[in-house]
Amino acid sequence: MKLLALESTAKAASCAVLKDGEVLASSWQATGLTHSRTLLPMVEDMLKNSELSLADMDALAVAAGPGSFTGLRIGMAAVKGLAWASDKPCVPVSTLEAMAWPLAHLEGVIVCAMDARRQQIYNAVFRAGDGTLTRLREDRAVSLEDAAADLAALGEPLTIVGDGAALCGDFFREQNISCRLAPVHLRLQSAVGVGLAACRLWPDGAVAPQALAPVYLRLSQAERERLEREKAT
């Protein structure tokens, strides 16, 4: 099974092609340029340089959230457009689970953390071992304090991955929680992780392009501000 995967939920944008769970090609950048400008050209260049095309793919995978509201919409729109044009099914993947799969070769507890601002993180927890993952916590938006209290109860050393890893590592160490950060080259979100997760979900997790929907976990800042104004009136 050959799969094209896209990731655009945070600062970095990336794409990858996997065949039967092995990476054939990938492209990743965190230059600060907008994903609407970079993502599709990255896909085009990667496929061209690999002498591949959308017609060669069995499915398209995308990080479905949580993450940046704008980044999620850009990734979803890109995959929907590519899938419709090529008549391919789609595989939506949890951003947090995708972050954990490149670390599945480790042994122990993997803490996935994205900086959600306001002293919160988007978080999920897995146990890695023998090249696979077992989910310990569902995807959630949680405060650093609540996450620390919950994870301390596990009583095990933690490996933290994601753009919130440094933030969590500093806070957890203050709470005397044993933890380490994932290696730099595996720490941030990537389409390789999306592809690895999608390979485990295929074919049961495949959906039609029109069924793709982002998973936000919490209201956007604009929606929160609107509700606060309504409460004040």
Q: Which domain holds residue 17?
A: 2-96+189-225
Q: How many domains does the chain have?
A: 2
Give the separation between CA 67 and CA 173, rounded to whole angstroms.
25
- Which 3 state secondary structure label does DSSP give 168? helix
**What is the three-class DSSP state of 198?**
helix
Check if the beta carbon of residue 40 is closer than 8 Å to that of residue 78: yes
- Residue 57 inside a domain? The answer is yes
The CA distance from 92 to 79, in Å, is: 10
Return the pLDDT at 81: 97
Whether residue 168 is found in the same domain as residue 109: yes
Query: Is 197 found in the same domain as 128?
Result: no
Question: Residue 16 belongs to a domain with what CATH number?
Answer: 3.30.420.40
113: buried, middle or exposed (CB in 10 Å: 19+, 13-18, 0-12)? buried
Q: For residues 140 and 162, state if they share a domain.
A: yes
Q: Answer yes or no: do 76 and 110 share one domain.
A: no
pLDDT, tens digit only, all 233 positions of the chain: 999 999 999 999 999 999 999 999 999 999 999 999 999 999 999 999 999 999 999 999 999 999 999 999 999 999 999 999 999 999 999 999 999 999 999 999 999 999 999 899 999 999 999 999 999 999 999 999 999 999 999 999 999 999 999 999 999 999 999 999 999 999 999 999 999 999 999 999 999 999 999 999 986 665 656 656 777 77
